[in-house]
Structure 1
Amino acid sequence: MEQSNTNGGLTASEVSPAVSSLEPLAGDVATWSLAPDELLDPKTTSLVVEVTRLGCASGITGTVLDPQIQYDETQVLLRTDVEKIGPGAHDCQGNDAVPVEIHLDQPLGVRELVDAACLQGEAMGTAACTEAVHWAPPAGLTRHGGVPDWQPPLAYSFVVQSSCGEQAFIGEYVVSVEEGAVAGVDPLRRGFDGIGVDSVPSLAAMLELARQAEREGEAEVWVDQDGIPRWFDLDPLLDSIDDENCFLITHYEEP
């Protein structure tokens, strides 16, 4: 399968923004990672991260200071410093992870989500910063004018993240398609074991849902550099609530 960067995968040396202007606060450096069950997509405006103090602190991360957030065209930079450690000797055991809810002023869109502490300063090059990008959209994602005419082959596989509306099909799943129909579904993070092949749409079915939404409500489809749909943001009925569909497609592969 193609290499997905949805959950990180780029090192600090591979990140190419202008150096972060988020300076350390009057505290100590900490790094962050996404909470295990977090499912991000271009519409995300709130998320939970787990913050860990970088230096020796006898296993205690302590109080997290107000997070700093910086937005540009390609990235959202997030920095999470912690209160200064008290005097005295401290063991260098692993510090605990403190969950923090983050609220963004802008949706993530097609921007990378980056730990700013990994771009400069003492955290660079540490084990905590082997990956600076903690979320990124599929490569080359661009908005398509209307629903694309792309037709999938009869056999392919992909990972879908479903994250909108009130429905059972919420979570992340590995999907295989044979003879044009969904033949296998395996739940990943936050996936429900009860979801079967009849509950998960193929890419062809997602495109048909997009056409229906385009006729009666709103539909936004983004494609990659090969024209393959990777992000569906569908609102079938504008005067209804909880009927939306959001599908993020990664790991697309043809035999």
Structure 2
Amino acid sequence: MRTKRLSLLAVSALLVVIAAALVTIFIVGRQTNGRGEAGMWELANPGEVSASSTSVDILVTRLECASGVTGEILKPTVSYENDRIVIRADVARTPSAAANCQGNNQVPATVTLKEPIGQRALVDFQCVDGEAVNYPVCDPLEKWTP
């Protein structure tokens, strides 16, 4: 009887460990797959940006309602075009739960560029191909122009 109880306890503990591992893999996998949830950005110090800048400091805000919390910023991705540089600043996914829409906090991040900005505009991906294309915050489209 005691052996049976210990065996049942061991199996239960193993199931809990497996379930925890699967949840961790699922959450981490979602956050590191290159795309999180939509984040919008603005320049932290627009006056410090110039054509010779090779990095920009931004403030990122989660686009969806999240009870005031933007959360972790994933590594921004940068697309270089002839007339603009498009920066995408996604945020880590959050567990799906009810949230209010009080506006989310701004989280600072630095985007390192492979080359100077030059004569190109800086643009938020969310305003070009993302979830905020028709939002008033995307007018004007450019966050910075030379």
CA deviation vs aligned residue, 1:54-103 (integer Å, no higher than 9, x gap): 00000000001110001122111100010112121101011000000111
What's the C-alpha RMSD, in Å, of the aligned pairs? 1.7
Normalised by the size of structure 2, how large is the TM-score?
0.72
- What is the match of residue 48 of structure 2? 39
Kindly report which structure 2 residues correspond to 1:187-206, keeping only aligned pairs within 5 A, or say none: none
Counterpart contact for 1:67–1:78, Cα < 8 Å: yes
Larger radius of gyration: 2
CA displacement at 1:36 relative to structure 2: 3.7
CA deviation vs aligned residue, 1:30-67 (integer Å, no higher than 9, x gap): 11000046511111001200000000000000001110
Following the alignment from structure 1 to structure 2, what is the Cα–Cα distance between the partners of residues 57 and 127?
20
The residue type equivalent to 1:57 in the other structure is A
Gaps of 5+ in 2: 1-32
Select the structure with the greater relative contact order (CA < 8 A; seq sep ≥ 6): 2
Structure having the higher strand fraction is 1
- What is the match of residue 29 of structure 2? none
Counterpart contact for 2:46–2:144, Cα < 8 Å: no
Q: How many aligned residue pairs are there?
A: 114
Following the alignment from structure 1 to structure 2, what is the Cα–Cα distance between the partners of residues 101 and 116?
16
- What is the match of residue 27 of structure 1? 36
Change in Cα spacing, 1:123 to 1:25, as seen in structure 2 (3 Å) is farther
- What is the match of residue 232 of structure 1? none
> Per the alignment, in what secondary structure is the counterpart of residue 137 of structure 2?
helix
> Per the alignment, in what secondary structure is the counterpart of residue 35 of structure 2?
coil
Matched, 1:89 2:111: no
Following the alignment from structure 1 to structure 2, what is the Cα–Cα distance between the partners of residues 86 and 130?
31
Normalised by the size of structure 1, how large is the TM-score?
0.42
Counterpart contact for 1:31–1:128, Cα < 8 Å: no
Structure having the higher helix fraction is 2
Kindly report which structure 2 residues correspond to 1:224-235, keeping only aligned pairs within 5 A, or say none: none
Counterpart contact for 1:69–1:78, Cα < 8 Å: yes
Q: Percent identity?
A: 38
- What is the match of residue 125 of structure 2? 116
CA deviation vs aligned residue, 1:160-183 (integer Å, no higher than 9, x gap): xxxxxxxxxxxxxxxxxxxxxxxx
Gaps of 5+ in 1: 1-23, 138-255
